[in-house]
Homo-oligomer: A and B are copies of this chain.
Amino acid sequence: MREGAVGVGEVEWARARELDASDPLAAARDQFGETPGDSVYLDGNSLGMLPRRSVARLRQVVEEEWGRGLVGSWDRWIDLPFQVGDRLGQALLGADAGEVVMADSTSVNLYKLAAAAVGARPGRTVVVTDRRNFPTDRYLLEGLVRGRPLELRLVEFDEVEGPTAERVRAAVDGDTALLSLSHVDYRSGAIADMAGISAVAHAAGALTLWDLSHSVGAVPIQLDRSGADLAAGCTYKYVNAGPGAPAFLYVRRSLQAEISQPIWGWFGKRQMFAMDEGYRPRDGVGSFLSGTPAVLGLALVEEGVLLLEELGIERIRAKSIALTSYLVELCDRHLAGLGFELASPRAADRRGSQVCLRHARAQAICRELGERWGVVADFRAPDRLRLGCAAPTTSFADLALAVERIAQVSDLGEGPSSPSPAGGAAGATERG
C-alpha cells in the first residue's frame, strides 16, 4: 500500500516510528492483552483494553476469595466501595479521601446526585443542561423533572467547542437549582472549563453536577480546585475496568451533611447490620450507596486505577496530547481532501483524548473500517467518526495506519466494497 494512491507515505511512517521510539509510555502496551493481528483499536474511549494484572486479580477474587473464603470474604469486600473510590478519587479526580464512592452505574448515580441537588435547592425550579450532552445525562434529567414542579432547560453550545462560562452565564439565574454538564464532550472531545463554569453557576446560587465519563483516566481533574459540587462517571473507558464496571460518584465534603439521595438501601444506612427500624443515612459520601456492591467489578476498577497510578496521569495526558495532535495533523494532511472535516477543538489543551471527524458517509466508513480493515472506531449520529486515543495502549503508528485505511476506505467512494482485508498485511509491515 505504500505505493497506493492513498497511502500516507514513507515520510509519515518515519515520523510515526520516531514518535513511538521516543514515547516514554510505549512499554505500557505490554501490560494489556493482545489484540488480533494488525488491527488498530481506537475505541478505548468506549471500552478500554484488558489489563493483564486484572486477569490475575479476578482469579484471586473469584477462586480464592469467593470460592474458598465464601461469605467470610465480605470482611474485606465491605470496604471496597470506599477503598476503591478513595484511590480513584485521589489518583484521578483530585478529590480528598471520603469524597468519592463506587456505586451502581453512571446513570443511577447521576439520578441520585441530581435528585439530591434539586432537593437541596427548594423553591428553585430549573435544571440546566447541554442540549448535546450525552444522551443518558439528558434523559435522566427529563425523567427527574417529570411530575415535579421543575423544568429542564436545554442550552445550545457550539457543537465543536462545547460549553463556555459566557453561554452558561446567560442560561442560569436565581431559579436554577442545578447545572449538569459533561467535563469532556462525548463527541467532539471538547474540555469544559469546570472551574469557570462552576463559578458562574455558584454566583447564581445553583449546584453543579459534572459527568466525568470521558475525562477520568485521560485528562487530569482537580475537583477540589474546580468548584464542582457533584460528579459521576464510568470506569469502563480509560480506567479499563471492563464492560459494565461499577461507576463512581463524588460529593464535595462541605455539601455532604446537607444533601440526601432518594434510593435508601441497606448499604447507605448507618450500622447496616443492625437491620433496625427507621432509615438513618451514613455520614459522608457513603449515604449515596444503596444496594450490594458488585465485588468483581470493584476489584477490576482497583486494578485499573493502580495501573494508571503507576503510569502517572500527567504522563498519560502528555502522551494523549501528542497523540491527538499528531492525529489532527494526519487528518489535515491526508483526509481533508476526502470530505472529512475536523469536529474537535484545534487547540490541544481544549481536547480530551479523542478526535472527531465529520463526514457525510461517516456511518458506512466506520462500519467498513471495522469489518474489513480491523480499524475499530465509533460512529456517532448523525455524521461523526470518533477516534479514541488511549495513551497507555495507542501508538503513533496505530494512528498513521488508521488514517491510511480511512483514506483508502473513503477514496473508494460509494462503489463496491473495498478489497479483502488480507491486503491489510502490507500495512502491518509498515508499522514496525
Contacts and interface: CB of A to CB of B under 8 A. Distances in A.
A43 interface: yes
B62 A136 contact: no
Contacts of A315: none
Question: Which one of A68, A139, A247, A381 has the highest number of Cβ atoms from chain B below 10 Å of its Cβ?
Answer: A139
Contacts of A278: 142
A243 B77 contact: yes
A269 B107 CA distance: 12
Given A47-B71, A142-B264, A381-B273, A66 B104 contact: no
B67 A62 contact: no
- Copies per complex? 2
A272 B134 CA distance: 11
Contacts of A71: 43, 46-47, 376
A67 B47 contact: no
A396 interface: no
A50 B69 CA distance: 10
Contacts of A268: 139
Nearest to A42: B71
Given A58-B62, A62-B242, A136-B265, A292 B106 contact: yes
Given A108-B265, A108-B291, A295-B243, A70 B58 contact: no
A276 interface: yes
A35 B65 CA distance: 11
Given A46-B71, A108-B265, A243-B77, A292 B381 contact: no
A142 B279 contact: yes
A23 interface: no
A105 B107 contact: no
Contacts of A296: 242-244, 296-297, 300
Contacts of A272: 135
A142 B279 CA distance: 7
B33 A50 contact: no
Interface string A248-264: 00000000000000111
Interface string A271-295: 0111111110000000000111111
A70 B47 contact: yes
Contacts of A140: 263-265
B291 A136 contact: yes
Interface string A128-145: 000100011011101110
A234 interface: yes
Contact of A104 (B105, B135, B267): B105
Contact of A135 (B136, B143, B275, B290): B275
A9 interface: no
A180 to B, nearest CB: 14
Contacts of A158: none
B266 A135 contact: yes
Contacts of A58: 58, 62
A170 B73 CA distance: 43
Contacts of A246: 294
Interface string A74-118: 100100000000000000000000000000111110010000000
Contacts of A234: 292
B36 A50 contact: no
B104 A104 contact: yes
Contacts of A292: 105-107, 234, 236, 243-244
A182 to B, nearest CB: 13
Given A71-B46, A265-B139, A297-B294, A108 B119 contact: no
Interface of A: 33-36, 41, 43, 46-47, 49-50, 54-55, 58, 62-63, 66-68, 70-74, 77, 104-108, 111, 119, 131, 135-136, 138-140, 142-144, 146-147, 154, 234, 236, 242-247, 262-269, 272-279, 290-298, 300, 370, 376, 380-381
6 contacts: A35-B68, A43-B71, A50-B63, A73-B243, A104-B108, A107-B265
